[in-house]
Amino acid sequence: MQLINNAYQIQGISVTDLCREHGTPLYVYDGEKIVGQLNHLQQAFSGLKVRIKYAAKALTNQAILKLLKKAGSELDVVSIEEAELGLLAGYAPHEIMYAPNSVSFEEVQRAVELGISLNIDNLSILEKFGQRYGSSVPCCIRLNPHIAAGGNVKIQVGHVNSKFGISVDYLEEVHRVVKEYKITINGLHIHTGSDIKDAGVFLQMAQILFTAAMRFPDLQFLNFGSGFKVAYREGDHVLDVEELAKELKPAFIAFCERYGRELELWFEPGKIIVSESGYLLVRANVLKETPVSTIVGVGSGLNHLIRPMMYDAYHDIVNVSNPGGILKTYTVVGYICETDTFGNDRQLNEVREGDILALRNAGAYGFSMSSNYNSRVRPAEVLIYQGQAKLIRQRETIADLLRNQVAAEW
């Protein structure tokens, strides 16, 4: 989003015009940014057999999935429903990696029926998988490296007490199950969390993967997960992708030489691909003075963007309607009947009732984590690509809230 001639635009399209056409609240995505982020990762690791598996959970709209497929991405999914959405978007089964957690074995069987790749992170499921499929269906194993990395503790998933992955302490048991049922292990995977800004974390993961891999002779790939830190505010320290590639590429090449053949290098990024592309546009409904602050109440809330309340996440807020206004301090809150704060003590250009505010970095885990809490409908979504704005999801209506309810007479 750029300020040009005192008006905010995305690829030359007026942000306020989008709100007039489609209403608010409104999610808007910059497709050029999405493709650019994917290309950045692909180019950084050029020279290797690299596969980028976009983490669909970040944003699952079909238009986004199709755009990424066209740009050369494959897919990482965590539910059968996400897998089916990927197939509907045109991904071939072998382009989809299914990495579930705490699911029933019936869901694993459904994944095999669909022909998608499978990532197992539980010894119990691995044993059932071996009993059912033996050597006929290959699978990947997700390891828990006991590395606590990332930002908020709620998004750290590689620590010793995590529900994700099979502990590296249990590798001998993994080998016992694999040997007993002659399971073909085609990949190893580690993912430690989100908001990782230190390339050293990935080098730690690499050493664990490289050591473990030497005992699995049929590997085709090593999956380093993702969690790349993106900038949420001015001056944020982010992961330097080029620095990571500079250090990881030679280490990976040296490992492949020891292993005896070249393997594929996989990543499964979500946030770094779509986060900075997205904006949640909301309308300032009311201004309310308290003895300690000026509150801006907007026509949206944690039902549309839960990250500030769930993770204490920071999202920059911009007054799109009055970019030349004097700076004042505001607390921006939502309309949900809960503590529902988007930002405390924010310096914004003077806000007037009716102004449009933009919450930046809302592309990842915004709409995909939205809900109908308070019986509020979810927003429309617009994708801007190659200078054209297209509606990619209609705003919900009361009919959508009632669609699956069954009337009962008493």
Catalytically active residues, by annotation: 337
**CA 374 from centroid of its chain's CA atoms:** 25
**CA 229 from centroid of its chain's CA atoms:** 12
* Strand, helix or coil for residue 153: helix
* Strand, helix or coil for residue 64: helix
Residues near 277 by Cβ (< 8 Å), separated by ≥ 6? Answer: 29, 30, 31, 33, 34, 37, 363
The three-point CA angle 44-45-47 to 5° equals 120
Please name which of 317, 277, 400 lies closest in space to residue 27, comparing C-alpha atoms: 277
Residue 71, number of CB atoms within 10 A of its CB: 18
Decide: 4 and 15 in contact? Cβ < 8 Å. no
298: phi then psi, degrees, rounded to nearest 5? -110, 165
Decide: 68 and 317 in contact? Cβ < 8 Å. no
β-partners of residue 367 are none
**CA 263 from centroid of its chain's CA atoms:** 25
Q: CA 338 → CA 4, 78, 284, 301, 373, distances in Å?
A: 37, 30, 18, 9, 10
Decide: 258 and 206 in contact? Cβ < 8 Å. no
323: phi then psi, degrees, rounded to nearest 5? -65, -20
Residue 178 identity (one-letter amino acid): V
